[in-house]
Amino acid sequence: MKRRLPLIGEKFPQLEVQTTQGKKVLPDDYRGQWFVLFSHPADFTPVCTTEFVAFAKRAPEFAKLNTQLIGLSIDQVFSHLKWLEWIKGKLKVEVTFPVIADDMGRVAKALGMVHPAKGTNTVRAVFVVDDQGIIRLILYYPQEVGRNADEILRAVKALQIADQEKVALPHNWPDNEIIGNEVIIPPASDAKTAKERQKEYQCFDWWFCHRPLKK
């Protein structure tokens, strides 16, 4: 039977991996924490280097959200270590998060990170996994386009707020063109609730109500 790729809302598959910080079991070793697993095509490449610097600089911000970073590519541990050493020496940025050495491609294939039309290296995939081991967000970028670490940080923050306050977050939150940094109330499921909520919240219509974040 052909193995199906994991989807949003499903449990992250259990995988034992070798990293620059020793062996780890995903998602078990991150129980109680969120993590962002992101793949890059190869060590010692320019776009990947810019991404690793960006993620490394924002690691403390992710940590404030109880979120850990994990890198991955189809390279061996010694290659990762030398590349991270180069980044620290040349660019004065220390990468403190683990990087998976998936030199056999087992993890990349299980997570759909290898796209045949783009070669044998991993594309720029991102998996955001919550503190229960559930996949909450999946992104795929081609090899030639670098990611925006701030957007991934924003998405983690938005997902956590959506969970905590049972709301939805608008485009480009917290800088939305219509409602600014406010959040959206999920649509009412019956006529009575739809009518009552227009008295409780600010609404453009019964199906579009919003409010400030709870303090």
Q: Which sequence positions are flagged as catalytic? A: 48
95-132 core/surface letters (b: 16 or more CB in 10 A; e: else): bebbbbbbeeeebbeebbbbeeeeeebbbbbbbbbbbe
Q: How far is the C-alpha of 144 from the C-alpha of 79, rounded, in Å? A: 21
Beta bridge mates, 34: 67
Q: How far is the C-alpha of 75 from the C-alpha of 68, rounded, in Å? A: 21
H or E segment to which residue 162 belongs: helix 149-165
Decide: helix, strand or coil at residue 78.
helix
Distances (CA, A) of 71 to 76, 97, 124, 127, 184: 13, 8, 10, 11, 33
